[in-house]
Amino acid sequence: MWFYDKKTQYPIKITKPDPRMAIAILTQYGGPNGELAASLRYLSQRFSMPTKEAKATLNDIGTEELAHLEMIGTMVHQLMDKVPPKELEKLHVDTNYVIHGRAVYPSDSNGVPFTAAYIESMEDPIANLNEDLAAEEKARATYDYLINIADDPDVIDPLRFLREREVVHYQRFGETLRIVQETMGRKKFY
Amino acid sequence: MDEQTTLLEQIMAYDFALYDLQLFLNTHPSDTNALRDYKMALEQSENLRRQYQSKYGPLTARYLPNTTCWQWINDPWPWNNKEV
């Protein structure tokens, strides 16, 4: 189970609204390489992990992804909050407004709603961990793209933090894959 | 930055260090240096958390201040930008 801590994992204090950037960042909320997909993927896959290291890694990275989901939601909210509807129309983000208002809804930047089809969870831990390595790189690349189009240091700073976490998670999944392969090798599974 | 935010960001920094070490220890459970760092950061975080909660109210619902009113619901929530 989980307990809530009343803070984000990394500080977010955006003072300059930017609805276009909000919609760009939204893909990391409910898009294919987003934090919701990451969290559900690892927290579902953990049930079939064979070693104690792998169980802990999937459990804890899956949990951290929920904290990242909260960071992304906070960024989208602060970038969109109180922007007048006419302004949203001028910036061509009014199609999102007429469906959800200025709420945070799990979709990608094009409005495609979140789907569990973005993730896989198999009994085979080698297959899962290889998917996880790819997922971290795809999320890292998405953060690169977002940083490329961002101007505000208050937006770039948390995006850089999140990008760095993808790199660290990739490292930990690589170590986990090696541990699982060695363990399964010893047990002569093949 | 006000005193409350400064203190909260110190807690966030130690808690982040703790979480990063936790992930590292999951794949390096016998690393005594990481274990020592974890212990150090944990003491710091718990100490700062005690200070913060006694001054500014609960960070978790399980902190119960000596008042007659439930404080957990009080603003700010993490997604609220106080400065806007």
C-beta separation of B17 from B41 below 8 A: yes
Q: For A6-52, write each residue's pLDDT tens digit.
A: 999 999 999 999 999 999 999 999 999 999 999 999 999 999 999 99
B20 CB neighbours in chain A (<8 A) are 168
Q: Least CB-CB distance to B26: which of A10, A13, A60?
A: A60
DSSP for residue A189: -
DSSP for residue B53: H
For residue B51, give how far its alpha carbon lies from the nearest alpha carbon of chain A (Å).
15
C-beta separation of B58 from B65 below 8 A: yes
B2 vs B84: which has the higher pLDDT: B2
B74 vs A: CB within 8 A:
no
A154 vs B: CB within 8 A:
no
For residue A95, give how far its alpha carbon lies from the nearest alpha carbon of chain B (Å).
24
- Under the banding of pLDDT at 50, 70 and 90, the label for residue A188 is low
Strand-pair partners of A113 = A107
Q: Is the pLDDT confidence value at A186 over 90?
A: no
Q: For A40-98, write each residue's pLDDT tens digit.
A: 999 999 999 999 999 999 999 999 999 999 999 999 999 999 999 999 999 999 999 99
- Under the banding of pLDDT at 50, 70 and 90, the label for residue B82 is low
For testing the chain A interface, which of B16, B53, B77, B79 should be mutated: the one with the most A CBs within 10 Å? B79
Closest Cα in chain A to B23: A57
Residue contact B81–A7, C-beta within 8 A? no
Number of residues that make up chain A: 190
Query: What pLDDT sits at residue A11?
Result: 97
A77 vs B: CB within 8 A:
yes
- Under the banding of pLDDT at 50, 70 and 90, the label for residue B1 is confident
Task: Establish, for the pair of chains A and B, how many residue pairs have beta carbons separated by less than 8 Å.
Answer: 75
A15 CB neighbours in chain B (<8 A) are 81, 83-84
A 2-31 → B contacts, CB under 8 A: 3-15
What domains are there in chain A, each with its CATH number?
A: 19-116+123-186 (1.20.1260.10)
Mean pLDDT, rounded, for A154-179 = 98
C-beta separation of A93 from A23 below 8 A: yes
